[in-house]
Amino acid sequence: MTKLIDGKKISQEIKEEIKLFCNKLKEEEKQLPGLVTILVGNNPASFSYVNSKAKTCNEVGMISKVEQLDESTSEDELISLIKKYNSDEKFHGILVQLPLPKHINESNIIKSIIPEKDVDGFHPVNVGKLVIGEDTIIPCTPYGIIELLKRYKIDTSGKHVVVVGRSNIVGKPIANLLLQKKEEANAIVTVVHSAAKNISYYTKQADILIAAIGSPNFIKADMLKNEVVVIDVGINRIEDKNSTKGYKIVGDVDFDEVSKIASYITPVPGGVGPMTIAMLLKNTLIAYKLLTNN
Ligand code: GUN
């Protein structure tokens, strides 16, 4: 029987844990954790992500602030604002929503956030620490995947994990995390990407498949072996005439087919997606604890 990995439920549990911690801080009249989110331009999807991050922060009792900047903001202006928050003790996490307008160099922006407040875990210092297995801030989506595997007691040690996709946000960090010589990792990891001539050759070998490619319903049942564990990171909009919105959200995995052969599978929506925000709050809490010794 295929089991569903319920990211909505687990993310709720994590948010409750964070809320309890914030309530305790309030009772003790201590400073609360603060997250500032910076959005440049008016991409509707980014706008909706940023607002839902701010709303969730408030729900758990954290301080949250959204800086919405005009599309024409220069790289220097954005860096000046980040520097202001680097030294603002009210905020322990700084998140700049990506993608940025084309005239702004993403890498310069990521590097301008001090690593201690980089709750995305994208700064080269944090990426380097992750690769060499040191404690650091882990990017939210890979952190969410690790947490789902842990809470569902899915053992990764000695298992063949096949990651499809090599982005800096998901593919590369999750591959590096799972190959660490640690109890909750210790996997044999293969990373497959668009240059592979025969993706199925690799995916068929997976004990655990992680799909992060951004291509709707790309992974089919005949690309996998029976009893595979499937983690679907995709969030793709496809046309749906039956929906009032005119579209529906699907993953990178063809859920209808694959759920018939998998041992575990994350649904979309309600799998990895809700975990990303929960882990952002967790990262903000980690940054807060390190910066304040609370
Ligand atoms: N845009 C899409 N995903 C992310 C993310 O995880 N962090 C940031 N900062 N921007 C994103």
115-126 pLDDT, tens per residue? 999 999 999 999
85-105 pLDDT, tens digit per residue, is: 999 999 999 999 999 999 999
CB neighbours (10 Å) of residue 43?
17
Active-site annotation holds for 68: no
| H or E element at residue 257 | helix 255-258
d(CA 57, CA 284): 10
What separation in angstroms does the CA of 131 have from each of 42, 124, 125? 34, 10, 10
Is the CB of 261 inside a 6 Å radius of any atom of ligand 1?
no
Contact 45, 75 (CB under 8 A): no
118-158 pLDDT, tens digit per residue, is: 999 999 999 999 999 999 999 999 999 999 999 999 999 99
Active-site annotation holds for 97: yes
pLDDT-based confidence at residue 207 (cuts at 50, 70, 90): very high
Which one of the listed residues 15, 97, 172, 252 is annotated catalytic?
97
| Residue in the structure block whose two tokens are 């569902």 | 152
User: Do 59 and 162 fall within a single domain?
Assistant: no
Active-site annotation holds for 88: no
d(CA 121, CA 139): 5
159-175 pLDDT, tens digit per residue, is: 999 999 999 999 999 99
User: Do 166 and 230 fall within a single domain?
Assistant: yes
**Domain around 257:** 140-274
Is the CB of 98 inside a 6 Å radius of any atom of ligand 1?
yes
How many Å lie between the centroid of ligand 1 and the Cα of residue 164?
A: 19
267-287 pLDDT, tens digit per residue, is: 999 999 999 999 999 999 999
Structure tokens at 24: 């305790």
**Average per-residue pLDDT for the chain:** 97
How many Å lie between the centroid of ligand 1 and the Cα of residue 157?
A: 29
How many Å lie between the centroid of ligand 1 and the Cα of residue 276?
A: 9
In a domain, 5, yes or no: no
Structure tokens at 224: 């996998």
Structure tokens at 75: 């790289």
In a domain, 15, yes or no: no
In a domain, 293, yes or no: no
Report which protein residue has its CA nearest ligand 1's atom 1.
98
In a domain, 22, yes or no: no
How many Å lie between the centroid of ligand 1 and the Cα of residue 66?
A: 15
CATH number (domain holding residue 166): 3.40.50.720
When pLDDT is averaged across residues 213-230 and rounded to a whole number, the result is 98
Is the CB of 140 inside a 6 Å radius of any atom of ligand 1?
yes
- Could you tell me which residues are beta bridge partners of residue 190? 162
Would you state the pLDDT for residue 135? 97
43-61 pLDDT, tens digit per residue, is: 998 999 999 999 999 999 9
Contact 113, 82 (CB under 8 A): yes
In a domain, 133, yes or no: no
- For the chain, counts of helices (H) and of strands (E): 10, 11
Q: Quote the number of domains for the chain.
A: 2
In this prediction, what percent of the chain has a pLDDT beyond 90? 98
pLDDT at 294 over 90: no
| H or E element at residue 106 | helix 106-112
d(CA 159, CA 156): 5
User: Do 69 and 147 fall within a single domain?
Assistant: no
pLDDT-based confidence at residue 224 (cuts at 50, 70, 90): very high
Please choose from 48, 119, 169 the residue to mutate so as to test ligand 1's pocket, defined by most ligand atoms within 8 A of CB. 169
Is the overall model pTM greater than 0.95, yes or no? Answer: yes
User: Do 95 and 160 fall within a single domain?
Assistant: no
CATH number (domain holding residue 56): 3.40.50.10860
Contact 286, 147 (CB under 8 A): no
User: Do 96 and 157 fall within a single domain?
Assistant: no
User: Do 148 and 104 fall within a single domain?
Assistant: no
User: Do 163 and 79 fall within a single domain?
Assistant: no
Structure tokens at 264: 């575990």
User: Do 84 and 153 fall within a single domain?
Assistant: no
In a domain, 110, yes or no: yes
User: Do 52 and 104 fall within a single domain?
Assistant: yes
pLDDT-based confidence at residue 1 (cuts at 50, 70, 90): confident
User: Do 82 and 164 fall within a single domain?
Assistant: no
User: Do 153 and 260 fall within a single domain?
Assistant: yes
When pLDDT is averaged across residues 249-257 and rounded to a whole number, the result is 98
